[in-house]
Structures are given as C-alpha cells and as structure tokens.
Structure 1
Amino acid sequence: MNAYEVIMIVLGILTVVISFGALIVLICRNNDK
C-alpha cells in the first residue's frame, strides 16, 4: 500500500463516521421534540 491508498482509505472512513454522527444527532434532536 502506498501513501495515496492509505489517504483514500482514511478519507473514506472519516466520511462514513461523519455521516453516522450526523444521522445520530438528527435522530436525537427529533426524539427530544
């Protein structure tokens, strides 16, 4: 694996984590109302 592949994998993981985090925040806000 070269540096480019590692960077792409890290970016992919960060994208997934941020997406799940945003969904959890939206669900929590909807439950509070």
Structure 2
Amino acid sequence: MPAETRRTLMKLMIRLILDHANGDLARERQEARHDV
C-alpha cells in the first residue's frame, strides 16, 4: 500500500476512534446527570 494511502487511512482511523471515545464520554456525562 502506498505511504500516502496508509497515512490517510491512519488519520481516518484515529479520528473515528477519538470521535467514538468522545461520544462515550458525552453519554457517560448525560447518564451521570440523570442519576442526580
């Protein structure tokens, strides 16, 4: 696989993982608010 393609894929994968983690954190915060 060309280096350019690998770099692009890596950026996309990192972004997906971080976005998913941020979504989980936001969901946890919402659930914590509901518990109060």
TM-score w.r.t. length of structure 2: 0.83
Alignment of 1:5-24 (within 5 A): 5-24=5-24
Offset from partner CA, 1:4-30 (integer Å, 9 cap, x none): 110000001001001101100000001
Q: Rg bigger for which structure?
A: 2
Instruction: Provide structure 1 residue ranges, at least 5 long, that are not aligned to the other structure.
Output: none
Q: Which runs of 4+ in 1 moved over 2 A?
A: none
- Identity over the aligned pairs, expressed in percent? 9
Aligned residues: 33
Instruction: Provide structure 2 residue ranges, at least 5 long, that are not aligned to the other structure.
Output: none
